[in-house]
RNA sequence: GCGGCCAUAGCUCAGUUGGUUAGAGCACAUGAUUGUGAUUCAUGGGGUCGCGGGUUCGAAUCCCGUUGGCCGCCCCA
């Protein structure tokens, strides 16, 4: 047994694992770039207060935090949002709008491990700053959907639930609830899907039982699954800000429809997301089978940059975690096998031939081809086997007979055909054959 | 933080009522095969049975503790 184990919840990436991870990151990067997002990065270790400021003391229990040698209270980052708010806030006046940024980074949370959750994980974070209107949500939801579709997932595999905390606030205000009670009701709404009527226990303890007629309206509202149903409930109220908000909804859904993404989107007012800092549209991606935890989540947080970056700036963002996402790809058989195959494997007759082979190997590698060869003398049969197992497309045979004639035999490992090439033309010959 | 199940080779696992030197398949390595990828066969390396303690003449096996894993609850930024 190993004398040292990895810390609980931490992960090691052997070459095959890392190849899969890199594949994830590569497609995410390409997709984010295609949508016009610029990549940034920032420290893994941050002042503890950065997270307290955003989320309160309670969050500290789930933080990897400690005191550094300079006596500073620090924490490994559990998420990107506070950091990116600080970054943007610090240069807000110098940055071209809209600010469309993304990053891929590792995050740490001191939590109990579970399926799809460890103590370290990677996330793609994408955010737009400086755009208050639903055009920003259009871009982000579009990007989110494509970040999943890029791997071959379809509307059969996942969907995005779209909701709106503003509409909840406006609606509950119109029903006569004050802000604390509104937050209490939203807490119940967040839990309703899981606990049913028990979700209102917390509210009842704090404020007393919710009026039955009011509760019926809340329950009806959280079950709304379409824009027309939403309009039917809200339009009669004749409330200006609600009307304006419905216009935002029409714009967002219209935009997404024009992008051909309607089949991924489900209006679902039952989603409010627990985070107190979300201020508008919120959205979450789930697998259709409902077997996994959320694949991605995001929403608008217009007040956070002001709080953490000292400049008022509207913002929307989302994050996709790598663990649940990898489980989904696995379930759907979409995890590719990514063997790092060489282009060329050199079969070398013996020590004398090796010298000649090195020249060609060096030239091929300098030209950018992936070239491998046995480090020590091995029987010919073994070398061909090794070439086949490595997945090489070509085998170059550096035998004594060939080298005596100044040539190398090029074997195509797929169709087993062979041809001779002058030693000096090896690079061109390989280029032609691949 | 709470609860359930689990821990034997790199992987998947077997291991009798507690009883010789703890096994198999896969994987890996070598050879049969000194110029061509398969199959097959042979051989080999690799385990203080997660760790610590206890019971016993004797523990992978029974008991206690501990660490780690899986699953669920809380939480999920």
Q: Are A375 and A285 members of one domain?
A: no
Across all strands, nucleotide nearest A388 (CA–C1'):
B37
Q: Are A364 and A400 members of one domain?
A: yes
The answer to whether A320 touches A295, Cβ cutoff 8 Å, is yes
What is the model's pLDDT at position A339?
67
What is the model's pLDDT at position A175?
93
Protein residue with the closest CA to the C1' atom of nucleotide B2: A112
The answer to whether the beta carbon of residue A308 comes closer than 7 angstroms to any atom of strand B is no
How many structural domains comprise chain A?
2
The answer to whether the beta carbon of residue A405 comes closer than 7 angstroms to any atom of strand B is no
**A331, A365, A381: which is the final residue of a domain?**
A331
Distance A156 CA to B77 C1' (A): 29
What is the model's pLDDT at position A1?
43
Distance A122 CA to B49 C1' (A): 36
Q: Are A354 and A323 members of one domain?
A: no
The verdict on residue A8 lying in a domain is no
The verdict on residue A216 lying in a domain is yes
Q: Are A300 and A399 members of one domain?
A: no
What is the model's pLDDT at position A3?
58
Distance A340 CA to B10 C1' (A): 20
The A 221-280 residues near strand B by Cβ under 7 Å are 273-275
The answer to whether the beta carbon of residue A406 comes closer than 7 angstroms to any atom of strand B is no
The verdict on residue A4 lying in a domain is no
**A331, A352, A379: which is the final residue of a domain?**
A331
The A 45-74 residues near strand B by Cβ under 7 Å are 51, 55, 59, 62-63
The answer to whether the beta carbon of residue A387 comes closer than 7 angstroms to any atom of strand B is yes
ipTM exceeds 0.90? no
What is the model's pLDDT at position A352?
85
CA distance A47 to A142: 33
Q: Are A124 and A207 members of one domain?
A: yes
Which value, in Å, is the radius of gyration of the alpha carbons in chain A? Answer: 29
**A310, A331, A352: which is the final residue of a domain?**
A331
The answer to whether the beta carbon of residue A300 comes closer than 7 angstroms to any atom of strand B is no
Range of the domain at A382: 344-433
Q: What is the CATH number of the domain that holds A128?
A: 3.30.930.10
Distance A283 CA to B8 C1' (A): 47
Distance A1 CA to B25 C1' (A): 22
Q: What is the CATH number of the domain that holds A413?
A: 3.40.50.800
Q: Are A274 and A411 members of one domain?
A: no
Q: Are A298 and A416 members of one domain?
A: no
The answer to whether the beta carbon of residue A324 comes closer than 7 angstroms to any atom of strand B is no
What is the model's pLDDT at position A274?
65
Distance A114 CA to B4 C1' (A): 14
The verdict on residue A337 lying in a domain is no
pLDDT tens, per residue, chain A with 434 residues? 445 778 888 888 888 888 889 999 999 999 999 999 999 999 999 999 998 877 665 677 789 988 999 999 999 999 999 999 999 999 999 999 999 999 999 999 998 888 888 899 999 999 999 999 999 999 999 999 999 999 999 999 999 999 999 999 999 999 999 988 998 898 888 888 888 888 888 888 888 888 999 999 999 999 999 999 999 999 999 899 999 999 999 999 999 999 999 999 999 998 887 667 889 999 999 999 888 889 999 999 999 999 888 899 999 999 999 999 999 998 888 887 766 789 999 999 888 888 889 999 999 999 999 999 998 888 888 899 889 888 899 999 999 889 999 999 999 988 888 999 999 999 999 999 88
* Strand B nucleotides in reach of protein CB atoms, 7 A cut-off: 1-2, 10, 28, 30-38, 47-48, 50-51, 67-77
The verdict on residue A399 lying in a domain is yes
What is the model's pLDDT at position A338?
67
Protein residue with the closest CA to the C1' atom of nucleotide B35: A380
The verdict on residue A52 lying in a domain is yes
The verdict on residue A195 lying in a domain is yes
Q: Are A294 and A410 members of one domain?
A: no
Distance A391 CA to B44 C1' (A): 27
Distance A112 CA to B61 C1' (A): 31
Q: Are A313 and A358 members of one domain?
A: no
The answer to whether the beta carbon of residue A3 comes closer than 7 angstroms to any atom of strand B is no
What is the model's pLDDT at position A192?
87
Q: Are A99 and A155 members of one domain?
A: yes
The answer to whether the beta carbon of residue A384 comes closer than 7 angstroms to any atom of strand B is yes
């Amino acid at each position: 047994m190993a004398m040292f184990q990895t810390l609980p919840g931490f992960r090691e990436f052997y070459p095959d694992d890392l190849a899969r991870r890199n594949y994830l990151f590569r497609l995410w990067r390409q997709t984010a770039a295609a949508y016009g997002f610029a990549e940034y990065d920032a420290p893994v270790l941050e002042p503890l207060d950065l997270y307290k400021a955003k989320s309160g003391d309670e969050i500290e229990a789930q933080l990897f935090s400690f005191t550094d040698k300079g006596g500073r209270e620090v924490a490994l980052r559990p998420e990107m949002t506070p950091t990116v708010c600080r970054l943007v806030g610090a240069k807000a006046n110098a940055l071209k709008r809209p600010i469309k940024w993304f990053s891929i980074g590792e995050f740490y949370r001191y939590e109990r491990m579970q399926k799809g959750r460890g103590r370290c994980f990677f996330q793609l974070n994408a955010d737009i700053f400086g755009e208050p209107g639903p055009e920003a949500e259009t871009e982000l939801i579009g990007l989110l959907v494509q970040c999943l579709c890029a791997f071959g997932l379809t509307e059969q595999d996942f969907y995005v639930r779209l909701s709106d905390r503003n509409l909840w606030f406006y609606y509950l205000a119109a029903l006569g609830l004050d802000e604390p009670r509104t937050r209490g009701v939203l807490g119940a709404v967040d839990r309703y899907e899981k606990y049913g009527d028990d979700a209102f226990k917390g509210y009842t303890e704090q404020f007393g039982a919710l009026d039955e007629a009011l509760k019926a309206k809340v329950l009806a509202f959280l079950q709304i699954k379409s824009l027309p149903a939403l309009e039917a409930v809200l339009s009669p109220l004749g409330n200006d800000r609600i009307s304006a908000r419905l216009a935002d909804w029409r714009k967002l859904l219209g935009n997404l429809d024009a992008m051909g993404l309607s089949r991924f989107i489900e209006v679902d007012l039952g989603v409010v997301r627990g985070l107190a800092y979300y201020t508008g549209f919120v959205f979450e991606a789930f697998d259709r089978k409902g077997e996994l935890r959320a694949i991605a989540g995001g929403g608008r947080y217009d007040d956070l940059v002001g709080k953490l970056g000292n400049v008022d700036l509207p913002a929307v963002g989302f994050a996709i975690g790598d663990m649940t996402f990898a489980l989904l790809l696995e379930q759907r058989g979409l995890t590719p096998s990514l063997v790092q195959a060489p282009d060329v494997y050199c079969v070398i007759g013996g020590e004398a031939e090796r010298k000649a082979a090195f020249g060609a190997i060096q030239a091929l590698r300098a030209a950018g081809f992936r070239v491998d060869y046995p480090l020590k003398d091995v029987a010919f049969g073994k070398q061909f086997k090794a070439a086949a197992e490595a997945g090489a497309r070509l085998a170059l045979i550096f035998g004594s007979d060939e080298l005596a004639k100044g040539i190398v035999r090029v074997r195509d490992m797929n169709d087993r055909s062979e041809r001779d090439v002058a030693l000096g033309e090896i690079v061109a010959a390989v280029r032609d054959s691949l």
